[in-house]
Chain A
């Protein structure tokens, strides 16, 4: 009995490198990213999709998806969903508009207040889910309607309309607004233009300036959130708790993981990401609309699933989710560049979602040894 288990089991085949590489949550998304780029280089390579404006165009759209996908990814790994993300985007934008335009408060105050309110709503979502033990699907579905309802009700009550503009004027000179609506790296693009590497305006009052004159803060936020979330998830003690809370909450509790706290924090983080999205959008458009963020919750979840996370929690990758979001953005904008009817984007979404879920289920079987 003393040597039991010590010897290598002759019935376990040596796993090949390929199979090991397969057992990564990001695999599907990496392959998908290559496939998507290859496709559009072939079919839309000469359409301007890959010049500076084209790249900026799909990068910005992708970055929007990345911001909400990162939040949804962390939450899904912790074993929960948030269907109120889209409504929260609309709600947060409207909240900034009402505070700054209608009430005339400084924009920085409006932004900070909005963050506080939205993160508190995220915490409320989390507390209800943790305390009642109800599926987060139902709890956050309720907030999907509650928040959207308020987003339409308040501006109608106060301003008698559902779109509030004039934020750009209020934001001029504000110290916090550029953190969400500004651009960075302008000098670099000036230099590129002076070298003749990127296009410049050829007429008008901005003649000679590069058309792409900086990287929007939206993209900086997307990259920043992705890197921080990835490190927290894979390299820290808290990250281990996130995996544990989603993998098996009861087992995690038995060894002293504060499962309730972890889940509530992840709901708050998802709300934070939605608010970042909304703030960037409001600063870019200069207005808030009651219909903003529609369906974003599902798009975030799809990006996360394409990125290899399991809907049941406990497994996934932030990098994968970000790649899922990139695939999203590239395809959505790429179809436009390739001159394809844009409604086909939805067909593509449905198909790729199915493929991703099937692939994920297969990978999960390999990991857990189920048959």
Chain B
């Protein structure tokens, strides 16, 4: 499906964020449409994390506006953003390893059934839904009681993504989901992103790996020193150009030359 027939779900306009004297974001514009994967690229310190935290309600922007489905929004907390349909999957804070997959999946939104005056967690429903949603994402669990700690890094990301999708996310923000993963696990996560996008959810994929971005991205926005350097459509830009933009241009060209084009 072409995502350009739709209006953006979230539109961020000229976002600035100052921490005391430090200007972390200095005019960032970004939007995400249903069913697209919009990659946000940038080197370490470019402001990617600050930017997505602004989008997910953790930080309040100093200047600029956030439009959600065309209306101006002020998220007071991550909870507000979540309820509006913006789900964020953080790289290392996604899951609690000692708890079972089911308990993690439903954490904060446990299904309950009432028995007289008491309400209990409905484990039959919780387990069935968890198994089914994980199967849709291509992971067959041995058992829903399995601790998340026994899953691989890629599988943990997938549980977090499946959870966000199941609970009706309209926008899914993935914070460097592939940066700590091996080749095969990265492939799994990228294919999960592709599945999610096809369901009409807008995916914001933060990465500093151009190849991962190129594998699934529909649009690419590059952040450098707190500013957007521009947004490109798929096919309008080569990986080399993206890489140059991220690194701020000239220095990397020289460096790349000396490394024989391997970076």
A residues apposed to B, CB below 8 Å: 1-6, 8, 23, 235-237, 239-241, 243-244, 247-248, 250-257, 310, 314-315, 364, 367-370
Contact = CB atoms under 8 A, between A and B. Distances in A.
B98 A254 contact: no
A253 to B, nearest CB: 8
18 contacts: A1-B191, A5-B155, A23-B147, A235-B120, A236-B112, A237-B112, A240-B110, A241-B107, A243-B96, A243-B98, A243-B99, A244-B108, A248-B93, A251-B93, A257-B107, A314-B98, A367-B150, A369-B149
B108 A2 contact: no
Nearest to B93: A251
B138 to A, nearest CB: 5
B187 A256 contact: no
Interface string B79-113: 10010000010100111111100010011111010
A23 B98 CA distance: 11
Most buried by A among B97, B138, B147, B150: B97
Given A4-B191, A256-B109, A248 B96 contact: yes
A264 B138 CA distance: 40
A251 B139 contact: no
A368 B98 CA distance: 6
Contacts of A237: 110, 112, 119, 121
A369 B138 contact: no
Given A1-B187, A8-B140, A256 B97 contact: no
Contacts of B147: 23, 367-368
Contacts, number: 103
- Going nearest first, the 7 A-B pairs with the smallest beta carbon separation are A368-B149, A247-B96, A255-B108, A237-B110, A256-B108, A1-B191, A368-B97
Given A5-B138, A369-B150, A240 B94 contact: no
B168 interface: no
Most buried by B among A5, A253, A257: A5
A2 B138 contact: yes
B78 interface: yes
Contacts of A1: 187-188, 190-191
B184 interface: yes
Given A252-B96, A252-B108, 11 more contacts: A1-B191, A5-B138, A23-B147, A236-B121, A247-B96, A248-B96, A254-B93, A255-B107, A255-B108, A257-B108, A314-B99
B120 A236 contact: yes
B149 A367 contact: yes
A360 to B, nearest CB: 12
A2 B136 CA distance: 11
A235 B121 contact: yes
**Contact-residue size bin, chain B (C-beta under 8 Å from the other chain):** 35 or more
A240 B106 CA distance: 9
Contact of B188 (A4, A240, A250, A368): A4
A159 to B, nearest CB: 45
A243 B103 contact: yes
B99 A4 contact: no
Nearest to A247: B96
B96 A314 contact: yes
Contacts of A8: 140
A256 B109 CA distance: 8
A2 B96 CA distance: 27
Contact of B107 (A252, A369, A370): A252
Nearest to B58: A254
A359 to B, nearest CB: 16
Contact of B90 (A254, A364, A368): A254
Nearest to B167: A255
B155 A244 contact: no
Contact of B96 (A244, A256, A310): A244
Contacts of A239: 121
Contacts of A369: 97, 149-150
B98 A367 contact: yes
Given A6-B140, A237-B121, A257-B108, A364 B93 contact: no
A240 B78 CA distance: 20
Contacts of A5: 137-140, 154-155, 158, 188
Contacts of B138: 2-6
B139 A6 contact: yes
Contacts of A364: 98
A57 B200 CA distance: 67
A367 B158 CA distance: 19
Contacts of B158: 5
B243 to A, nearest CB: 24
B188 A254 contact: no
Contacts of A241: 107-108
B187 A367 contact: no
A237 B125 CA distance: 13
Nearest to B123: A235
